[in-house]
Each structure stands twice: as structure tokens, then as C-alpha cells.
Amino acid sequence: MIIVMKSGATKREKEEVLGRIKELGYKPHVIHGTTRDVIGAVGDERGKQIVIETIESMHGVESVVPILKAYKLASKEVKKESSIIQITDSLSIGGSQIVVMAGPCAVESEKQIIETAVAVKQAGAHVLRGGAFKPRTSPYSFQGMKEKGLKLLAKARKVTGLPIITEVVNPESADLVAEYADILQIGTRNAQNFELLKKVGQIKKPVMLKRGMSMTIKELLMSAEYIMSEGNQSVILCERGIRTFETATRNTLDLSAIPVLKGETHLPVVADPSHGTGHSKYVAAMSFSAAAAGVDGLMIEVHPDPEHATSDGPQSLTPKDFTALMSKLKLFAEAAGRTI
């Protein structure tokens, strides 16, 4: 931790800061600069971030610069080799394969989900996605089929053999969802719902954590840390677009987050070009782009009849478009030294 003093800080102010540093169990180290002093505080500041904050409110202090990273279990400094997370006996994520998760935004009917599952399986997808509990911006929109939807997902798994990923929206229903799902999904709007993060941290199932719309990469890793600190190390991170001033796309898919995350953490990273762009016509280009950037997986919305979808129609691919995407994706995966 580095404390930058104001240029006119008094001797007494400096002494009080030094006293407070010692009181907190750190060793102070003063550097006398040309216009101001800078104090290094040596010690393990992880989990004591509050210390940093409070010193900033002392007289004579200009700013406080944390040095240590706030996350630990998620950090590559602590675990250097990439984590490979087992989804089923024959499928894992984080290795050489780019795992493709595809399916509708929401489970709407048995016909719809089975038809989609068969189609995406045939096109080469590895995991079936589909929401049973749907967090929707409007209270007047379709909120999902709930447990009935989970049962249909299980049926689709039985038919196709595809493992399923589906969203958990509150701690209360987490165990229920975990009975059916192979991967639990934490949605964007719940990315800092800490009660929910703690809960899925206690369940023994892989969790895919989506980045919040205005979440920094550091904060995403802190949310992963919440899950991991409860005992669940099987966390998959998902870049799904951040909110910016640009409105041509629904969000701005931050693909540079992929190499940044790959440098910071050992956890697998997935991209969601469907939510990232919001328009089906951009999904293929962004899927290839994400593969080239180094993702371990892709999450893509596919619907047999996008015009009649109950949600996210405009960003859903038809099975035909998805099949075309998969055959081109193979080329980009190969260029990246990966398989699909």
C-alpha cells in the first residue's frame, strides 16, 4: 500500500499517518520526494482493504494506492496453471477444446426445446442452454416456465446427451436448479448479488458467472472470489458485453477482456456474442472474433423460430445459421490451435 501525502502536509499529519499504519500492523517506509512525501506500508493488505480506505480520510493525505490484488483464489499469482473444469465425464472446459453452449434464451415448450436441442447437437454444440427462471427488465414480460422448464431441459438432455446450463435467480431456488443443471449460470444483473454468489459457492456444480454490465474486470474477479471462498473452485467467467455510449449494438462486447483475464486468472473464459451484440446478424463475426481472442467457450442463442421467441428474438440464430457458424468457427479454432 502506498500513501501519497499532500504537498503541504505538516509534520504532525505525517506522524499521525505513520502511527495509524503501525496500529494496523504494517511497517511504514517513508520516501521524501521533491514536492511531497510518499509512504509505503509493508504487510499483507488483502482482506484489509478497508484500511486503505480509511487512511484516505486522514488529514494531509492526498490519495492511497493499493498494490496487492484484492482477489486471491481467482488469481494466477496463486495458481499458475489454467484450471480445467469438468462438466461431464467426457466434457471439460479450460483445455484445448472451445466449448460451445447453444440454445434458446428461454424454455418455452417441449417441442421448442427438444427441437432446438437436437438441432444444436447436430450442428456440433456441446452444451444446451435455456432459461427456466428468467430475470426480465419488465414485470409484464414472460418470467419463465420455472420448474416445468427445468424438467423439459432434463428431457432434452436425455434425448440428446447434451449437458445443460441454466440460470439461478435467487438463493431460495438454487438447490432446485442444481438438481437439474450441469452448469449453474449467474446472470449479468446478479453478478454482484453477493447472497446468491455465496449460495452457489456452497453447491458442488460448475458455475458460469456473467460479467455485470458496468463491472470492471477486477470486480468480476472479486465476484468469482465470493464463489470460490465458499468452497466452489469450478467457476467459468463470461464476457457478455458492457454498457457504453454506443447504441448500434445492445452492449459493447469487450473482447480485450479475454487476454486481460487470461493474464490475471487461471479460470476459463467464455464469450456471449448474442447478448454482447443484441443482433443476430453480428453473432457469427463476434463468435469468430472471440475464438481468435482466446476464449475457452462460446454461448450462443439459437431458436427454431426467432420471430416468435418469447425473449431475445432479435439476437437468436436459426438452427440453419448456427450450423453455418459452426462450420466456419472450426477454421478459426484451428487457427488458434484449438478444437471445437
> Site residues for a second copy, window 101-140 (CB under 8 A)?
135-140
Query: Residue 183: is it exposed, middle or buried by C-beta count within 10 angstroms (0-12/13-18/19+)?
Result: buried
Residue type at 66 in one-letter notation:
P
CB of 171 to a second copy, least distance (A): 6
Residue of the chain from 22, 25, 33, 148 that contacts a second copy (CB under 8 A): 33
Contact 302, 312 (CB under 8 A): no
DSSP β-bridge partners for residue 53: none
- Asked if 243 touches a second copy (CB under 8 A), the answer is yes
Q: Quick one: which of 259, 320, 327, 339 contacts a second copy (CB under 8 A)?
A: 259
266 in helix, strand or coil?
A: coil
Q: 59, 83, 18: which is closest to 234 by C-alpha?
A: 83
Q: Give the DSSP per-residue string, 42-100.
A: ES--TT-HHHHHHHTTSTTEEEEE--S-S--TTBTTT--SPP-EEEETTEEESSSB-EE
Residues numbered 36 to 55 that lie near a second copy (CB under 8 A) are 36, 38, 40, 42-44, 46-50, 53-55
Among 35, 89, 90, 204, binds a second copy (CB under 8 A): 35
Residue 82 interacting with a second copy (CB under 8 A): no
Does position 11 interact with a second copy (CB under 8 A)? The reply is no
Residue 301 makes contact with a second copy by CB under 8 A:
no
Q: Which stretch binds a second copy (CB under 8 A): 62-70, 95-103, 151-159, 177-185?
A: 62-70
> Does residue 233 belong to the site contacting a second copy (CB under 8 A)?
no
What are the phi and psi torsion angles at 62 (to 5°)? -90, -50
Stretch of 87-95, 109-117, 151-159, 215-223 lying at the interface with a second copy (CB under 8 A): 215-223
